[in-house]
Chains A and B, each alone.
Chain A
């Protein structure tokens, strides 16, 4: 199940890849009281997928991916609450376009640098966005958040209900689209060149690959998906708060992805699922222990299990097979 990409890879969808969707549909029927948490998990999976594309495949280390997610969330929120645009699909497209625009402008600027400077610039960009959202109170509501988000029925047919049924299925559908897109990118020649960039960008230069433009393109694609995920969060919560932006938000996403496993598509499925479920169960009762646990877990993952949960599963499977 390692999605390394490349020409030689078998691009057909194998049966385990249908499992997440079966689980998600089963959860819809079996756990109706958890649908709002479920929608949140689906949104963060989409968001983590977008990070996996640039971090896991292209090897761009960023602390500021929350800038695009938060920007998308605020674009959708401002459209819905201030501009009177209530159609959810219009909001979604606008947020994705906003994420793309911010992604291409910032990406074109910062991707000329690398290492610590790049890390610092991504951090500065999400900090600027946070500062703008905090201070432009007339538009964003500032620290109080933006409420009064109005979302009309999807296609004029499906109303967002109190139990979150519509929201869940809507997020699931959007995640499916996002997953198909990310999977398509990874298995394309473009995706293979991204893996090349991650492994050795100097050699990619040497064989004549347009390194900078590839990076800008994948960064923009990733920002587009993150912006769309942000809009989904706004629509399901009917609220946007400052906590979608900034370093802590970006760091939390990074933790989720690392926990699941980087550069393997389904790490982005497992990580947010485990993280958000654990957070839902533990964080409210024991906030101090929660952060402590996350910190220890992160240190342990880095020290002993760099592949995350799926990496551990891979090793366990390999051991079982060698014994059999």
Chain B
């Protein structure tokens, strides 16, 4: 009984860390999909890029870990602005199929570049000493890095929610998600808003990829292998919402960890089944408004 309780706590803890990472990566996808209606399958590319920026900054240039996280966010956000202005913006009015194909093309390119530059092996993360080891809480030991992930993501999420719900910029984003034409006609520069939001979302994905490099291995096939998870979070949570994907990410993080812990012979089977079930029950996602 004691050991069962311990394993429940452990699964909940690791699941929460995984869920937090999933949320930080996917929330940008939810906003940009809700805002621009763009089916961006290449979102995982930004997360992978963040992971590579982090490992390169630390191992090649000896950048301290916190600064490397900032680098990952900034570099990916900047890179995404270039991509958005050059390529994505041309396809806002195109059909779903074109957007899907274009972003699959981006995935292929990113996979090839990553393989060419970094090789096929996964990149280990050099954690600073203060994030290694265990962290004692309520008489139990938890890996310090996971505790850091949960705490750091929680702070990020609160900041993001504050930004969207309480600031002028956030109000403009919400207005544009609800009704783009109306937002435009009251004088909001939606083009600039899109670019900024896209950069923020991609930067967050980069940050999430960097932060979670220890949980979701950074390797060239990253965007292919994890795409399903990111899309599940967004689809189950509901497009354009902040809270929906959060609930979905935690749900999937914990459920996936639990399945892999107790029923490893089924792999991710139940996650996919649950996704199908939820989407059939509520096609717009758990918290989606459109149905």
Contacts and interface: CB of A to CB of B under 8 A. Distances in A.
Interface of A: 55, 61, 63, 109-110, 112-113, 115-117, 119-121, 123-125, 127-128, 131-132, 134-135, 247-248, 251, 254-255, 258, 262, 287-292, 294-299, 301-303, 306
Contacts of B115: 287-288, 291
Nearest to A117: B283
B232 A135 contact: no
What is the interface residue range for chain B against chain A? 35 or more
Contacts of A292: 108-109, 112-113, 116
A298 B101 contact: yes
Given A127-B268, A131-B272, A299-B87, A120 B232 contact: yes
A216 B76 CA distance: 42
Nearest to B109: A295
A189 to B, nearest CB: 25
Contact of A251 (B96, B104, B273, B284): B104
- Shortest beta-carbon contacts, A-B, top 8: A295-B108, A298-B105, A295-B109, A292-B112, A291-B112, A299-B105, A120-B235, A302-B102
A248 B221 CA distance: 10
Given A247-B227, A288-B116, A255 B104 contact: yes
A132 B91 CA distance: 36
A302 B91 contact: yes
Given A288-B116, A290-B112, A299-B106, 18 more contacts: A63-B100, A112-B280, A112-B283, A116-B239, A120-B279, A123-B231, A125-B272, A127-B228, A128-B276, A134-B267, A135-B269, A251-B104, A291-B109, A295-B110, A302-B98, A302-B101, A302-B102, A303-B102
A252 to B, nearest CB: 10
Contacts of B101: 254-255, 258, 298, 301-302
Contact of A131 (B102, B268, B280): B268
Most A Cβ at <10 Å: residue of B87, B110, B239, B275 = B275
B177 interface: no
Q: Summarize B's interface: helix, strand, loop or mixed.
A: helix
Interface in B233-279: 234-235, 239, 265-269, 272-273, 275-276, 279
Contacts of A288: 112, 115-116
Interface of B: 33, 39, 87, 90-91, 94, 96-98, 100-102, 104-113, 115-116, 224, 227-228, 231-232, 234-235, 239, 265-269, 272-273, 275-276, 279-280, 283-284
9 contacts: A55-B97, A113-B283, A116-B33, A117-B235, A119-B39, A120-B275, A123-B227, A135-B266, A303-B102
Contacts of B284: 117
Nearest to B221: A248
A73 to B, nearest CB: 20
Contacts of A298: 101-102, 104-105, 108
B234 to A, nearest CB: 8
A135 B105 contact: no
